[in-house]
């Protein structure tokens, strides 16, 4: 990594201004980076949010949403995002969310209009012929891809770091057709195409992300994913089949029904134990693949001057996922803010980087964010519940 002669970094500690990397941990913005400890890589992001604070925000949001008959929902979303963004500290400098509730509200009105049209269409089709409503359901998929791309763009244009905006170039329509094609290929190949489609879609999105006047790159190839993917798929199928073969649940149930007693109960317990054991092993394998996917995604993302890496380990990932599940279930949802913070810490604090950004030449993109000629369509920011 070439360092610029007079490139001064105040955080991250990659350089001391003379172009020589520092080995010792450097204090940057009130927290310690582990310097060059991880073979040239250093921690890139520190998420500093707390579950308790997020919980307080959620409770206030909940009450305000009720007394405003639901309208506050959009402002509530913004407040949560502002909290999450501003506590995501990247190289000593927090992110900033500049979206507003008004934008989300108008964006939602548009989506609601589309949704109502969709419902009417579905009703009309159903009246003509019951089978035709499937057609309407199929229309939702492209709409979903389109909306996803738009939502990513909206969030990026409303994100600033060091005063400089992010952006997403490219057309949502093109992404829609691309994603449709990939889904079709996945369907035809019985998901064997999946790693390749991951590579294609990630490249389209990440390769179009901008920070200021510089472009992110994505160099991920499907080949390295395939081994893990096939292992995971075979594992899931294998454990699934084993679960059904080894645990003869129907027989056990019948036995339990015909002569209930300790004998029947025991065989049922064994069958259930085997079945769920296999189910858990299957989930374990799929989670392992998710972890591989995240590392692949991060490791292949680049930006001029820096490389990224995720030091996420499967053990840690699995532990957080499982404990979060219990955290949410056992508290009947009250624990959700804590679970969210734990997940974010897991993903963000394991992001490492190597190299240094050319801050002086990272200029604000001349194009103003909302000037894409699509008005409030930019605020196409919805988590569609389909």
Binding footprint of other proteins on the chain (CB under 8 A): 6, 8, 10, 16-17, 26-27, 29-30, 48, 62, 65-71, 73-74, 77, 79, 82-83, 86-87, 89, 92-94, 96, 98, 104, 108-109, 112, 115-116, 119, 160-165, 212, 332-333, 336, 357, 359-364, 382-385
- Residue 101 Cβ, how far from other proteins at the closest point, in Å? 10
- Residue 383 Cβ, how far from other proteins at the closest point, in Å? 7
Considering beta carbons, is residue 2 or 263 the nearer one to other proteins? 2
Considering beta carbons, is residue 38 or 127 the nearer one to other proteins? 127
Considering beta carbons, is residue 163 or 315 the nearer one to other proteins? 163
- Residue 109 Cβ, how far from other proteins at the closest point, in Å? 8
Tell me which residue of 169, 170, 273, 260 sits closest to 211, measured CA to CA.
Answer: 169
Interatomic CA distance for residues 42 and 308, integer angstroms: 9
Copy the structure tokens of residue 66: 């009720």
Considering beta carbons, is residue 211 or 289 the nearer one to other proteins? 211
Considering beta carbons, is residue 26 or 285 the nearer one to other proteins? 26
Considering beta carbons, is residue 3 or 26 the nearer one to other proteins? 26
Q: Which helix (H) or strand (E) holds 322?
A: helix 314-330
* Site of tokens 């009309």: 124
- Residue 135 Cβ, how far from other proteins at the closest point, in Å? 20
- Residue 18 Cβ, how far from other proteins at the closest point, in Å? 8
Copy the structure tokens of residue 233: 């798929």
Q: Which helix (H) or strand (E) holds 172?
A: helix 172-188
> What region does 65 belong to: left with phi over 0, alpha with psi -120 to 50, or beta?
alpha
- Residue 30 Cβ, how far from other proteins at the closest point, in Å? 5
Burial of 203 (0-12, 13-18, 19+ CB in 10 A): middle
Interatomic CA distance for residues 341 and 327, integer angstroms: 12
């Amino acid at each position: 990594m070439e360092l610029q002669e007079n490139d001064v970094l105040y955080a991250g500690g990659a350089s001391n201004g003379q172009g020589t990397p520092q080995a010792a941990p450097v204090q940057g913005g009130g927290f310690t980076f582990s310097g060059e400890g991880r073979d040239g890589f250093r921690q890139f992001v520190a998420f500093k949010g707390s579950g308790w604070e997020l919980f307080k925000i959620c409770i206030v949001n909940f009450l305000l949403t009720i007394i405003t008959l639901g309208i506050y929902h959009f402002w509530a979303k913004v407040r949560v995002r502002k909290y999450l963004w501003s506590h995501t500290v990247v190289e000593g400098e927090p992110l900033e969310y500049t979206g507003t509730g008004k934008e989300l509200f108008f964006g939602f009105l548009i989506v609601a209009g589309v949704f109502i049209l969709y419902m009417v269409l579905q009703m009309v089709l159903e009246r003509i012929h019951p089978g035709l409503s499937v057609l309407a359901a199929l229309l939702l998929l492209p709409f979903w891809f389109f909306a996803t791309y738009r939502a990513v763009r909206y969030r990026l244009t409303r994100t600033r770091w060091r005063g400089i905006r992010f952006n997403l170039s490219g057309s949502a329509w093109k992404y829609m057709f691309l994603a449709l094609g990939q889904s079709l290929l996945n369907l035809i190949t019985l998901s064997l195409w999946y790693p390749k489609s991951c590579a294609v879609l990630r490249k389209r999105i990440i390769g179009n992300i901008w920070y200021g006047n510089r472009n992110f790159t994505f160099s991920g190839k499907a080949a390295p994913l395939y081994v893990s993917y096939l292992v995971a798929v075979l594992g899931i199928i294998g454990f699934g089949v084993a679960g059904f073969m080894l645990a003869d649940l129907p027989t056990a149930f019948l036995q339990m029904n015909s002569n209930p007693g300790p004998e029947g109960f025991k065989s049922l317990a064994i069958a259930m134990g085997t079945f769920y054991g296999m189910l858990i092993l299957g989930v374990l394998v799929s989670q392992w693949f998710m972890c591989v996917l995240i590392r692949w995604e991060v490791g292949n993302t680049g930006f001029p001057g820096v490389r990224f890496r995720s030091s996420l380990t499967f053990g840690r990932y699995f532990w957080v996922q499982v404990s979060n599940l219990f955290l949410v279930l056992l508290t009947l949802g009250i624990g959700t803010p804590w679970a969210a913070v734990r997940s974010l810490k897991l993903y963000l604090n394991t992001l490492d980087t190597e190299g240094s950004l050319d801050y002086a030449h990272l200029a604000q993109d001349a194009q103003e964010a909302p000037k894409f000629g699509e008005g409030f369509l930019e605020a196409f920011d919805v988590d569609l519940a389909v």
